């Protein structure tokens, strides 16, 4: 005879599994601040598999990138991304770049990582599935996920799309991360991202 | 003869692809221009940047859309001379993969400003304007570009020079500000704005246009407003009217101020387009 507790656990397990499954298939582009960040599995630039669930309990920054985009090139030339990643890595923040550029391959991501001496992975999303799921519009487009797996910020790096105010621009990502470490709610939780359009496949 | 044909074929191919490749490296060429060669004190003068965009590429309007970067033109005038606001012809809308909307220009676009304040003391001399332009040109990749130059215009007591056709055509393609359209102006329009309603804290705005004659095709392009994300919900039309419904998302509470504006573009059955800038007050609307 099957024990009641086993059946209860089985039902609960099915409910949890179905909930996770549904997260993966959230309506594309409909994500907002406060929503659970959809789980995904992508390969990095060397082909190693990376799952968002690997970083459960940690703060994660997702940075949509495209090595061909002049906005991305500018941020890497000025060291915006690397400096931010280094500063917050010490506090346990995980930084993942995602390349949803349809005409690229892992080789280009690897070359970009090496050329810029990046300490973090560039994940391959050339079919654009994860990009569309998150509603990533531009490169760069940043998402900050808190320790509970919720999106607490999404949008631009800073308030300087033309790159004319380096040194005096306000960095939204840093502000969001600082708020998390100070146990405060993120004041500017959403901004209009700027950059090249994510080069999704037609 | 055969060698000559072969050589000329190779040369033609090199020139074709060479020029083509060269143009693709620089998908945008810009000329800094005046609408006339000379101006009289108190007379009309326009200075601008004429963009020539390679096939398949586009540059961006004042609101670039989901991505991109607004084209920027800065005109510096001699002391005492005033440069008016930059005029933006009605843009085209394009949809990129990922359902990403963009607004901008393909082929040619002239962005220009009206100049005023030319003094009588300048008669017999020349006015020199320094113009700078920067832009983002995109196709399957994006390239930032910039250029600068000078435009020199003579000052004469009386001027009878023809106005450049580029400026004449650009002026015809400028949107009209509906707020400046009084009763006599509205009588001449082929439509009338019937009403507007506002709903909710993330404002849902419903606007209705009624046709006076033949129905027209309506398109809607939002002007930029800091920390406000507009989204077109629907355009539904019938032979008598059209409803344009859009939602405004406020990314910052302080953004709920001033007016939100959108460009309503009406196209008749002959393909003629006219655009009207419509403005909607935000601060007077209820919050939940």
From first to last of its 288 residues, chain B has per-residue pLDDT tens of: 665 555 444 444 433 333 333 344 689 999 999 999 999 999 999 999 999 999 999 999 999 999 999 999 999 999 999 999 999 999 999 999 999 999 999 999 999 999 999 999 999 999 999 999 999 999 999 999 999 999 999 999 998 778 999 999 999 999 999 988 888 888 888 888 877 777 776 788 999 999 998 999 999 999 999 999 999 999 998 899 999 999 999 998 888 888 999 999 999 989 999 999 999 888 765 544
pTM metric for this prediction: 0.86
Report the residue from A68, A70, A201 with minimal CB separation from B97: A201
Contact A197 B102 (CB under 8 A): yes
Q: Which pair of tokens denotes residue B158?
A: 């009386």
Instruction: Measure in Å the smallest separation between the Cα of B38 and chain A Cα atoms.
Output: 35
Closest residue on chain A to B102 (Cα): A197
Query: What CA–CA distances, in Å, run from B272 to B92, B170, B268?
Result: 14, 14, 5
Region of residue A94 (left: phi > 0; alpha: psi -120 to 50; beta: else)? beta
Query: Which pLDDT value is given to residue A188?
Result: 94
pLDDT per residue as tens digits for the range A29-54? 568 899 999 999 999 999 999 999 99
Alpha helices per DSSP H over B60-164: none
Q: Does B182 contact A at CB distance below 8 Å?
A: no
Of A57-61, A139-143, B255-259, where does mean pLDDT reach its minimum?
B255-259
Q: Quick one: DSSP state of residue B254? A: G
CB A124 within 8 A of CB A44: yes
Residue A97: beta bridge partners?
Answer: A63, A122
Report the residue from B66, B138, B251 with minimal CB separation from A137: B66
Q: Which H/E stretch holds residue B89?
A: none
Instruction: Let me know if the fold of B2-172 is the same as that of B176-281.
Output: yes
Distance CA B112, CA B131 (A): 10
CB A175 within 8 A of CB A186: yes
How far is the first Cα of chain A from the last one, in angstroms, to the nearest whole number?
A: 55
Contact A196 B98 (CB under 8 A): no
Residue with tokens 């009206």: B114
Query: Which pLDDT value is given to residue B65?
Result: 97
Query: What CA–CA distances, in Å, run from B111 to A162, B5, B87, B170, B204?
Result: 19, 45, 6, 8, 32
Instruction: Name the residue ranges covered by the structural domains of chain B.
Output: 2-172, 176-281
Residue B219: beta bridge partners?
Answer: B265
Q: For the domain B2-172, what is the CATH code? A: 2.60.40.1250
Contact B98 A197 (CB under 8 A): yes
Query: Which pLDDT value is given to residue A112?
Result: 97
- Give the residue from B86, B127, B131, B129 showing the smallest Cα distance to B109: B86
Q: Does B136 contact A at CB distance below 8 Å?
A: yes
CB B78 within 8 A of CB B118: no
B67 neighbourhood in chain A, CB within 8 Å: 137-138, 193-198
Q: Does A191 contact B at CB distance below 8 Å?
A: yes
More confident residue, A161 or B26: A161
**For residue A17, pLDDT beyond 50:** no
Query: Between A and B, how many residue pairs show a Cβ–Cβ distance under 8 A?
Result: 65
Report the residue from B67, B251, B252 with minimal CB separation from A197: B67
Test mutation, A196, A198, A200, A202, chain B, max B CBs within 10 A: A196
- A contact residues 94-153, partner B, Cβ 8 Å cutoff: 102-103, 128, 131-132, 137-138
Residue with tokens 């006339």: B36
Q: Does B1 contact A at CB distance below 8 Å?
A: no
Region of residue A163 (left: phi > 0; alpha: psi -120 to 50; beta: else)? left
Residues 6+ apart with CB under 8 A from B194: B208, B209, B210, B241
Report the residue from A68, A128, A188 with minimal CB separation from B98: A128
A69 neighbourhood in chain B, CB within 8 Å: 141-142
Query: Which pLDDT value is given to residue B288?
Result: 43
Distance CA A200, CA A128 (A): 6
Determine whether domain B176-281 maps to CATH 2.60.40.1230.
Answer: yes
Contact B138 A70 (CB under 8 A): no
SS3 A86: helix
How far is the first Cα of chain B from the last one, in angstroms, to the nearest whole number?
A: 84
Residue with tokens 């994660």: A60
Contact B99 A29 (CB under 8 A): yes
The residue count of chain B comes to 288
Distance CA A15, CA B184 (A): 66
Q: Of all residues in chain A, what percent carry a pLDDT higher than 90?
A: 81
Query: Which pLDDT value is given to residue B277?
Result: 95
- Give the residue from B61, B86, B70, B79 showing the smallest Cα distance to B117: B79
Instruction: Measure in Å the smallest separation between the Cα of A191 and chain B Cα atoms.
Output: 6
Contact B98 A70 (CB under 8 A): no
Instruction: Measure in Å the smallest separation between the Cα of B57 and chain A Cα atoms.
Output: 13
Query: What CA–CA distances, in Å, run from B285 to B71, B195, B198, B256, B264?
Result: 32, 15, 7, 9, 22
More confident residue, A6 or B194: B194
Instruction: Measure in Å the smallest separation between the Cα of A5 and chain B Cα atoms.
Output: 46
Distance CA B225, CA A22 (A): 35
ipTM score: 0.85
Report the residue from A131, A188, A197 with minimal CB separation from B96: A197
A199 neighbourhood in chain B, CB within 8 Å: 97, 140-141
Contact B251 A196 (CB under 8 A): no
Residues 6+ apart with CB under 8 A from A105: A124, A126
Instruction: Measure in Å the smallest separation between the Cα of B249 and chain A Cα atoms.
Output: 10
Q: Quick one: DSSP state of residue A190? A: B
Instruction: Find the helix packing angle between A70-77 and A80-89, rounded to 10°.
Output: 60
């Amino acid at each position: 005879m099957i024990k009641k507790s086993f059946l209860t656990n089985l039902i609960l397990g099915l409910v949890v599994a179905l909930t996770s499954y549904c997260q993966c298939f959230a309506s594309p582009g409909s994500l907002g601040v406060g929503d659970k960040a959809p789980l995904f599995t992508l390969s990095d630039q060397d082909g190693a598999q990376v799952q968002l669930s690997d970083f459960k309990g940690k703060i994660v920054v997702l940075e949509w990138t495209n090595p061909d985009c002049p906005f991305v090139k500018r941020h890497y030339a000025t060291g915006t991304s690397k400096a931010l990643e280094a500063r917050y890595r010490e506090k346990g923040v995980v930084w993942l770049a995602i390349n949803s550029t349809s005409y690229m391959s892992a080789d280009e991501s690897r070359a970009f990582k090496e050329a810029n001496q990046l300490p973090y992975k560039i994940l391959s999303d050339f079919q654009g599935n994860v990009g569309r799921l998150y509603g990533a519009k531009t490169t760069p487009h940043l998402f900050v996920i808190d320790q509970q797996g919720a999106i607490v910020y999404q949008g631009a790096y800073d308030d300087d799309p033309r790159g004319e105010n380096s040194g005096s621009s306000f960095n939204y990502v840093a502000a969001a991360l600082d708020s998390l470490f100070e146990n405060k709610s993120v004041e500017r939780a959403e901004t209009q991202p700027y950059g090249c359009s994510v080069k999704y496949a037609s | 003869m055969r060698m000559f044909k072969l050589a000329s074929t190779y040369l033609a191919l090199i020139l074709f692809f060479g020029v083509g490749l060269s143009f693709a490296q620089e998908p945008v060429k810009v000329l800094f221009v005046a609408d006339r060669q000379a101006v009289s004190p108190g007379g009309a003068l326009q200075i601008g940047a004429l963009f020539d965009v390679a096939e398949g590429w586009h540059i961006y309007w004042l609101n670039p859309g989901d991505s991109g970067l607004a084209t920027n033109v800065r005109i510096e005038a001699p002391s005492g001379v005033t440069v008016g606001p930059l005029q933006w012809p009605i843009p085209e809308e394009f949809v990129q993969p990922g359902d990403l909307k963009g607004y901008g220009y393909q082929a040619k676009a002239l962005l220009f400003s009206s100049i005023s304040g030319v003094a009588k003391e300048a008669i017999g001399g020349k006015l020199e304007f320094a113009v700078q332009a920067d832009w983002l040109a995109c196709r399957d990749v994006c390239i930032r570009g910039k250029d600068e130059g000078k435009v020199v215009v003579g000052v004469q007591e009386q001027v009878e020079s023809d106005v450049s056709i580029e400026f004449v055509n650009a002026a015809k393609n400028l949107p009209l500000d509906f707020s400046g359209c009084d009763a006599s102006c509205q009588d001449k329009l082929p439509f009338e704005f019937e009403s507007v309603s506002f709903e909710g804290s993330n404002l849902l705005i419903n606007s209705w246009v009624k046709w006076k004659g033949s129905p027209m095709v309506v398109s809607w392009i939002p002007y930029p407003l800091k920390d406000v994300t507009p989204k077109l919900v629907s355009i539904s039309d019938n032979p008598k009217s059209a409803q344009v419904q859009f939602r405004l998302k406020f990314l910052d509470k302080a953004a709920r101020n001033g007016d939100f504006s959108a460009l309503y573009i009406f196209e008749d059955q002959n393909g003629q387009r006219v655009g009207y800038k419509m403005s909607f007050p935000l601060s007077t609307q209820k919050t939940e």
